[in-house]
A and B are shown apart, each in its own frame.
Chain A
Amino acid sequence: MKFFSQNISKRFDRNQICSLSGTGKLFPREPVKNCTAVVSIALILLASFGLASCQKVINIDLNNASPQLVVEANISNLPGPYFIKLSKTVSFSGITEIPAVKGAIVEISDSSGNKETLTELMNGFYRTRTLRGIPGHKYTLTIKTDGQTYESVSRMPYPVGNLTLGIKREVDYGHLPGGGAGDQPMRYVVNYEINDPGEYKNYYRFIVYFKNGIFNSHRAFDDQFHNGKIIADEFELHDTLNFNPGDTVMVELQNIGSGAYNFFRTLREGAGGMSFLSASPSNPISNISDDGLGYFNVCSVTDRMLIIPEK
């Protein structure tokens, strides 16, 4: 019984249930886990009659896969240095000690003939020295380790010319208590307008920084149905308990490549794979060659500071 009670409150936390809150962006931005919620209620009820439904930790043989390289590489049109992190996949038993990849030869070259070998730091990090990202240039990342060579190529998109951003505090209709009495829950919503350039296919991703840390990232999206038009939409900020009026948040719009887009788009779905409702979980789609995992994100950045509005 205990499991189900815990489970149900978890299932109904604000992120999961119905992002159908009243903001105009009514469609849940990720697949709604409504069914999870429903199953939970159904289960709790049946379980209360079913006597001793249970959850237990079991051992199953998962015949471990051989270790694979994991790449997290970001370069942008902002001044460097840029950092690249290399690690490996582990079996479940090794999860507490993810091995850093040491002694790899990491190179980034661009389409105008510049080439740089990155300097190795601690814990699998590698750093550029002189490289500066320029929109329109094509970048090639080459990693040599354990006798294998991995590669990823991406052109840096041009930054978006016109970006309008706003932040507002509003009643969270999606989470009103049943009777509507008591304190109304509030939420913060960032609304945006992007003037999408028509000549290229564009892929976007928002990152929100608060007090110098990455604090929210909104799912990646593209201009498939809005090419050359204005893309206007909004997204909700989560975990905003520490917000005070007058604080600033920095919202960064990344114009990313198609490879990175596919990675970030599929990261959320497959990530964790904790949801039993997904019948066929899979890895986020990587843009690294030779079965390398992770991403090489070559992006151009447009950012804006926003001030948290009064209550």
Chain B
Amino acid sequence: MKKLFACLAALFWGLSIWGQGKYTISGYVRDDKSGEELIGAAIGVNEMPSIGISTNAYGYYSLTVPKGKCTIVVNFIGYEMLSFPVDLTGSLKQNFNLTRKVKELNEVVVMSEKRNDNVTKNQMGVEKLNIQEIKSLPAFFGERDVLKTLQLLPGIKSAGEGNSGFNVRGGTTDQNLILLDGATVYNASHLMGFFSVFNPDAIKDVTVYKGSLPSEFGGRLSSVLDIKMNEGNSKEYEVDGGIGLISSRVTIDGPIVKNKGSFIISARRTYADLILHSLVSANIVRDSTLKDSRLYFYDLNAKANYNLSDRDRIFLSGYFGKDVLGITSFGFDWGNSTATLRWNHLFDNKLFSNTSLVFNDFNYTINNGSTTHPINIISKIRDYTIKQDYQYSSGNNNQIKFGFISTFHRMVPGTITTSDTNTIRKSLPIRNSVENAVYFSHDFRITSKLTVNYGLRISEFSLLGTAPFYIYDSYNLIDSVKNVVDSTRKVKSFVRPEPRASLSYVINEKNSVKASYSRNVQYLHLLSNSTTGSPTDMWVPSSYNTVPEISDQFAFGYFRNFNNNNYEFSAEVYYKNLIHQVDYINGAILNFNANVESQLIYGKGRAYGLELFLKKKYGRFNGWISYTLSRTERRFEGINDGKWYPAKQDRTHDISVVAVCDLSRRWTLSGTWVYNTGNAVTFPKGAYMIGNNVIFLYTDRNGNRMPAYHRLDIGATKQFAKKGHYESSLNFSIYNAYMHDNAYMITFRQNESTKQIETVQTTLFRIVPSVTYNFKF
């Protein structure tokens, strides 16, 4: 440890030396019309192609340039390149405003060296999604969805038909950390997963890290999905909206004080229930119990920001969403809320600070639908977080990030109340815990060809407590801890170092190789016994029984661009080793079980694969092909005789093809095609009788496969002529265009007359056409 500090000290000292004789240009890069900060815009020097940097998550950059004359070049995809001549005699604060490109048909693309970022940047296992890109793709029920678009990228797989849950490199859906403006979203799905909670109108940037996580992130094994909300137009008021078959949405944004601050409010609501009611009234759906049904979800995103000074900016953002489901004698509501207060501060042009206070809450309520004798089951997860990040740039070759995060988790797995007497009838034990981490990372360009990034995150997790805590040896109670009464006392703590490193070597402008290693730790575990995931799945903290899950991932990649950077190609291989994975014993009782930990067993996992990606980024015809060849296995004592067996998300082949074509100035056509091997499932191999009941005979877990899944979606967008400020477009989508009967589930039942056992396949969506009208003024 001492040696490490000595090295760090030497390094900092070294960094300050290298800065001599040079000046720093720093500032923000923004959209000139809306004032919105641009994340990941490239800033370079025309005369010195080896100098370059990109804006951080807040649109801020800091570039070190030798004194004298040079031309600064700023680039961002979809925007006009900006050249800015300077004569540096001192450090300079300079903001850049970029102009969005007007869509031109016979556009001659101006080349810039920054178009090969994918090759030259020391970054692998990262996917960024351009919101504009999402907007032109076919949409399921007309609802554009960032999570579903992500699933078209290599290594990221859909958790099921129409499902917004995803598996990254063999991880389970709960091993993804989903952050909305820094706040954890525990359940990112609406309507049982068919839609995600992210309204694309309110989203600015989507980044998913599936390989080596930056040290500032942690707490999940597989991936981090970092979603940033729009800031709003700081120059003029705007209204955006859309009217679709099952939902409508509207967004209003504008300046609070012109060029000083802005706000955005975005809302969306589905009205499937209204349509259903009218279908029932019109006798099209003959099930009168559905007349009183409630079924909708809504989302509200709001964000405001204000520049207190040149150096200080504050942001306040929030999300509130809810699903409401109910029929006569049953109701089920769930939703997330998040709130983030953030303060960006520039100490000087080299040190950038970001302080966040975050609150997030996920809860669900199940009720019996009775107005006279209501009974409710309420479950909650609530986090309070403070996060401090520093970003220090010394020269263009050194970027240092460090900081800490501290989160208090409060989990209320289930409380039952009756309002007859307004009393709590029964309650599962509430679990409080604290998760802390400090981190450091250094991105160091050793030569113009070789860049290394190394970092360390040290995380600590403590279960706080009120006793009793029980200790089990697979089902059997062997010990208990009873004497803790103070709910703030730490009863069980874990400290885990998480080293991470990556290396990239640029062979030439077109070729590079990269390698990375990352250790991730997960302290919260999701217990789910369902195939698709449900809001009622229970999160449990690490405890006397369940220790933190750990994954070690090694990845290696080759990146190459072709044809003047018009085509990007990448090949990545990964190997992941997972320990302390959680599964449940055969016949486990998970829901509403106060002693749920007695139902768990622990084992290991491994996942490895090859990901190929070919993308055409520019031109009238663009899109990508992604292919993943992978294997994901688990090994648990007591399951399949302790041998390795395929995890349910194991899919050998996974292919996505995405194509977008600008037919004319008005029409854009798009199509996506996906194919994947079916999930591993457990089917019965026969049957027997116990008493008068047919019991199915199972021989091994996940020994069967669902049929292969494939589907083509097509979309067309017509842009109407602009009338004054008013712009509008019409989007047509067809989901599952060639009507392939994909198996959503396969079940077995005894035919009542023949007594034979039948295998029944259920297909959810044979074909789903939809139309959405979008407007903006």
Contacts and interface: CB of A to CB of B under 8 A. Distances in A.
B763 A48 contact: no
B614 interface: no
A135 interface: no
Contacts of A283: 586, 695, 697-698
Contact of A27 (B426, B756, B765): B426
B756 A93 contact: yes
Interface string B696-718: 11110110100000000000000
Contact of B697 (A8, A38, A89, A93): A89
Interface in A54-106: 54-60, 62-65, 68, 70, 72, 87-96, 98
Contact of B696 (A18, A41, A48, A272): A272
A266 B425 CA distance: 28
Contacts of B418: 22, 173
A173 B373 contact: yes
Contacts of A37: 330, 332
A130 to B, nearest CB: 26
A38 B534 contact: yes
Interface stretch (A113-121, A147-155, A177-185): A177-185
Contact of A293 (B273, B688, B754): B688
A273 B696 contact: yes
Interface residues of A, number: 95
A34 interface: yes
Contact of A50 (B332, B586, B745, B765): B765
Contact of A57 (B292, B691, B704, B759): B759
Nearest to B192: A42
Nearest to B417: A26
A299 interface: no
Contacts of B748: 92, 273-274
A95 B757 contact: yes
B477 A38 contact: no
Interface string B669-690: 0000000000000111111111
Interface in A173-221: 173-180, 214
Interface string B368-396: 11111101010000000000000000000
B141 interface: yes
With a 10 A CB-CB cut-off, give which of A20, A58, A180 has the most chain B CB atoms.
A20
A277 interface: yes
Nearest to A174: B368
Given A26-B375, A277-B530, A272 B694 contact: yes
Contacts of B589: 30-31, 269
Contact of A95 (B590, B595, B694): B694
Nearest to B534: A35
Interface string A138-174: 0000000000000000000000000000000001011
A1 interface: yes
A265 B275 CA distance: 44
Given A60-B759, A180-B370, A281-B696, A46 B765 contact: yes
Interface stretch (B68-76, B207-215, B279-287): B279-287
Contact of A178 (B369, B592, B746, B750): B369
Interface string A248-271: 000000000000001001110111
A31 B529 contact: yes
A269 B371 contact: no
A47 B755 CA distance: 29
A44 interface: yes
A59 B767 CA distance: 23
Contact of A55 (B598, B684, B760): B760
B370 A54 contact: no
A279 interface: yes
B370 A282 contact: no
A39 interface: yes
Contact of A225 (B191, B272, B372, B595): B595
B759 A96 contact: no
Contacts of B366: 18, 20, 32, 34
Contacts of A90: 686-688
Contacts of B696: 270-273, 281
B728 interface: no
Contacts of B425: 24, 26
B293 interface: yes
A255 to B, nearest CB: 19
B533 to A, nearest CB: 9
Contacts of B598: 224
A293 B690 CA distance: 10
A92 B591 contact: no
B640 to A, nearest CB: 11
B49 interface: no
Nearest to A270: B587
B648 interface: yes
Interface in B720-759: 741, 745-750, 754-759
Interface string A269-311: 1111110111111111100000001100000000000000000
B536 interface: yes
A134 interface: no
B77 interface: no
A137 to B, nearest CB: 24
B587 A60 contact: no
A35 B534 CA distance: 7
Contacts of A60: 683, 746, 759
A274 B750 CA distance: 10
A52 interface: yes
A65 B685 contact: yes
Given A65-B686, A284-B695, A293-B688, A53 B530 contact: no
Contacts of A136: none
Interface in B568-589: 586-589
B276 interface: yes
Interface stretch (B29-37, B321-329, B450-458, B482-490): B321-329
Nearest to B751: A57
A52 B698 CA distance: 32
Contacts of B755: 95-96
A43 interface: yes
A270 B584 CA distance: 13
A18 B331 CA distance: 10
A285 B698 CA distance: 11
Contacts of B701: 280, 282
B693 interface: yes
Contact of A279 (B416, B530, B693, B754): B530
B295 A45 contact: yes
Contacts of B595: 224-225
B311 interface: no
A178 B747 contact: no
Contacts of A176: 329, 368-370, 372-373
A17 interface: yes
B648 A173 contact: no
Interface in B248-292: 272-273, 275-276, 279, 285-287, 289-290, 292
Contact of A31 (B416, B590, B741, B761): B590
A176 B748 CA distance: 32
Contacts of A265: 587
Interface string A5-34: 100110010000110111010111011101
A44 B760 CA distance: 18
B686 A272 contact: no
Contact of B749 (A3, A68, A93, A274): A274
Contacts of A51: 766-769
B775 interface: no
Contacts of B683: 60, 62
Contacts of B531: 276-277, 279
For the complex of A and B, 4 pairs with smallest distance between CB atoms: A266-B587, A180-B372, A282-B586, A65-B685
Given A72-B691, A92-B757, A273-B696, 4 more contacts: A26-B425, A54-B741, A279-B682, A284-B695
12 contacts: A8-B287, A32-B592, A35-B535, A42-B325, A45-B276, A49-B141, A50-B768, A54-B741, A173-B375, A224-B598, A225-B595, A270-B586
